[in-house]
Each structure stands twice: as structure tokens, then as C-alpha cells.
């Protein structure tokens, strides 16, 4: 499904600020996997995602998506196979455009961007029907600008846009970190719902260790640009937040917050 081999990235090489962010990462995700990624600040979680999505080029290594080598593809071409939700709710949507226009852009992924109408009647009906899944009343506000939505609504909309045209891989970079607990819970529930899709694998970075264990089917812990732990199945079921902390001596206050 997705196979990462020998992926490395060093920031500011040859300078006093040299920082190896990823060191020879090998990772294989299977169809339907929902992997949670944890690790302290600077462990390389976001760098890993940015290398996969093409925001930053990797120094070496290969990334294969469904057998296709995407290592050298520009970001926007990789996006055809990858759905993304960012930590910042402002990054996921075009604020000065309406909800349905945003959806139309997401829906046109991989199609030709020409002089056809931006949104058709049929698409509008489809969006309305599908938006109801979010259970946020957005289906009745489709012609409102996204700038009027709350952070949680935007994040839910971004998540919805990311999976609208069935990506092979869904990347979530702490997508609930900027939300209040109740909204974060709601967005996580939606994440669980969408991640159930058997043809897609999901990679979710989180700072919340109990979320990391209670969502998905596999958990990766990163440390110093390496994968320090990779658990699934019974081993993961038996894991608790306390034993995680004990086992890896994690000294990061933010990660302790449940």
C-alpha cells in the first residue's frame, strides 16, 4: 500500500544548526490501516508527513504509494492520492469562498480544471446529502463563506474535503490540537468514521497519548527522527498510557495531557 524505505531528511546540513529530522525511516502501511503517530517535539513526526506529502523534499529514500514511486513528484501531484488535514484550521479551506465552492474544488481533484461550471446542480445535491453526515448543520449553510465557520466546523469540513475523492492515504497532522475538547472529540469521531474506509490508510499525528491508543489499529512512536516503537494487535491492546510513559521515559509535558 504505502512503503517508505530509507527515508532521511536533515535540516540545515553543514551548519551549526544541522538537525537530522528523519534518519533512515522504514515504514510499511497496509490497506485499511489507521496508524497513530506520537513522539516529543522535534521527533520528526511532522517532517515525516511533510516528506510524504511533498511539502519538503527528502534527502534520500523512496516513497512508494500503491507501487508507484512518488518520491520526486511535486506536492500538488501527490495530492491526487493523498488527503490532508492540517493543524491550523485556517490552512484547510479557502476562507473567502463558500462551503460549496470549497467542496467543489476538493471534488474536482484529479479532474480537468477548465472552463466548465465551477459547481453543477448535481454536485450541489451530492454535497448537501454528504454534508449531512457531519451532523453539523453545514448542509443548510452551503452558500455561506467559510470565514463564518468555527474552527471545529472548518476542521470537520477540511476532513470531509480530504476524503471526498477517496485518497489512497489520509494524513492528519494534529488536526484536533487547535480545537476545544468537545469539538476535538467530535472531529475525532468523524475521523474514525472516515478512516474505516477499507481502501485507504490513515496516518494521524497526535499529542494525546490516550487518543493515540484508543483510535486506529496501530501506533508508532517516533524519537530523534527514528521509529522507536511500532505496535499493533494484542501488544497495543495491552498498552496503557502509563506503561508507554514508563517504557520510553517520555519527558514531554504536552504528551502527558490526556
Partner 1 sequence: MMSFSAVIGSVELGLIYAILALGVFLSYRTLNTADLTVDGSVVTGAAVSAMLCSIGVHPLASLLVAFAAGACAGAITSLLNIKLKIEPLLSGILVMLGLYSINMHIMGNRANLALLKSPTLYKIVESALPGFDHSALLVSGLFLAIIVIGFYLFLNTRLGYCLRATGDNEYMVRASGINSNAMKILGLAMANGFVGLAGGLLAQYQSYAEIGMGTGIVVIGLASVIIGETIFEFFAKSIPLLLRLVAVCVGSVLYRLAIAFAISAGMPANDMKLISALIVTVALSVGPLKAWGRQLLGSAFSKPSGKEARQ
Task: For residue 118, state whether it binds partner 1 (rule: CB under 8 A).
Answer: yes
Q: Coil, strand or helix: which one is 140?
A: helix
Q: Which stretch binds partner 1 (CB under 8 A): 98-106, 190-198, 233-241, 248-256?
A: 98-106
Question: What secondary structure letter does DSSP report for 149?
Answer: S
Q: Which of 56, 73, 97, 126 binds partner 1 (CB under 8 A)?
A: 97
Binding of partner 1 by 109 (CB under 8 A): yes
| Among residues 47, 71, 93, 202, the one that binds partner 1 under rule CB under 8 A | 93
Residue 63 has a CB neighbour count (10 Å cut-off) of: 24
User: Which burial class, exposed, middle or buried, applies to 96 when counting CB atoms under 10 A from its CB (0-12, 13-18, 19+)?
Assistant: exposed
Does 175 contact partner 1 by CB under 8 A? Answer: no
Residue of 25, 159, 161, 204 that binds partner 1 (CB under 8 A):
161
- At closest approach, how far in Å is the CB of 104 from partner 1? 6
The cell numbers describing 191, all together, are 475521523
Contact call for residue 185 and partner 1 (CB under 8 A): no
Find the radius of gyration of the CA atoms of the chain: 19
The three cell numbers of residue 175 are 488536526
Would you say 6 or 91 has its CB closer to partner 1?
A: 91
The piece of 13-21, 41-49, 69-77, 188-196 that touches partner 1 (CB under 8 A) is 69-77
Per DSSP bridges, beta strands 201-205 and 34-39 are parallel
CA distance 60 to 82: 21
Stretch that binds partner 1, among 42-50, 59-67, 77-85, 227-235 (CB under 8 A): 77-85
Interface with partner 1 (CB under 8 A), residue from 6, 68, 72, 77: 77
Q: How far is the CB of 159 from partner 1 (least distance, A)?
A: 12
Q: Is 76 in the site for partner 1 (CB under 8 A)?
A: yes
Report residue 100: phi and psi, to 5°: -70, -30
Asked whether 183 and 152 are in contact (CB, 8 A), the reply is yes
Query: Which 140-159 positions form the footprint of partner 1 (CB under 8 A)?
Result: 145, 158
Q: Which of 14, 114, 198, 233 binds partner 1 (CB under 8 A)?
A: 114
- CB 210, min distance to partner 1, A: 28
Give the total residue count for the chain: 258
SS3 29: strand
Q: Which is nearer to partner 1, 57 or 74 (CB)?
A: 74
d(CA 102, CA 105): 5
Quick one: which of 240, 221, 244 has its CA closest to 40?
Answer: 221
Would you call 145 helix, strand, or coil by DSSP? Answer: strand
Q: Which residues bind partner 1 (CB under 8 A)?
A: 53, 74-77, 79-80, 83-84, 86, 90-97, 101-102, 104-106, 108-119, 145, 158, 161-162
Amino acid at each position: 500500500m504505502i512503503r517508505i524505505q530509507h527515508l532521511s531528511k536533515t535540516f540545515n546540513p553543514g551548519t551549526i544548526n544541522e538537525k537530522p529530522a528523519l534518519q533512515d525511516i522504514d515504514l510499511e502501511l497496509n490497506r485499511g490501516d489507521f496508524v497513530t503517530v506520537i513522539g516529543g517535539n522535534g521527533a520528526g513526526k511532522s517532517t515525516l508527513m511533510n516528506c510524504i506529502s511533498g511539502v519538503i523534499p527528502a534527502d534520500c529514500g523512496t516513497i512508494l504509494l500503491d507501487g508507484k514511486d512518488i518520491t520526486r513528484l511535486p506536492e500538488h501531484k501527490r495530492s491526487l492520492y493523498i488527503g490532508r488535514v492540517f493543524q491550523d484550521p485556517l490552512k484547510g479551506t479557502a476562507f473567502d469562498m463558500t462551503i460549496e465552492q470549497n467542496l467543489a474544488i476538493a471534488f474536482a481533484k484529479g479532474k480537468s480544471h477548465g472552463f466548465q461550471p465551477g459547481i453543477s446542480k448535481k454536485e450541489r445535491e451530492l454535497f448537501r446529502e454528504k454534508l449531512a453526515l457531519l451532523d453539523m448543520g453545514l448542509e443548510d449553510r452551503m452558500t455561506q463563506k467559510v470565514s463564518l465557520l468555527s474552527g471545529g466546523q472548518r476542521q470537520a469540513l477540511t476532513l470531509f474535503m480530504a476524503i471526498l475523492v477517496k485518497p489512497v492515504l489520509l494524513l492528519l497532522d494534529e488536526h484536533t490540537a487547535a480545537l476545544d475538547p468537545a469539538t476535538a472529540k467530535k472531529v475525532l469521531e468523524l475521523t474514525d468514521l472516515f478512516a474505516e474506509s477499507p481502501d485507504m490508510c490513515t496516518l494521524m499525528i497526535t499529542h494525546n497519548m490516550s487518543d493515540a491508543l484508543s483510535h486506529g489499529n496501530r501506533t508508532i512512536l517516533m524519537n530523534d527522527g527514528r521509529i522507536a516503537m511500532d505496535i499493533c494487535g494484542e501488544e497495543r491492546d495491552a498498552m496503557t498510557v502509563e506503561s508507554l510513559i514508563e517504557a520510553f521515559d517520555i519527558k514531554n509535558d504536552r504528551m502527558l495531557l490526556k
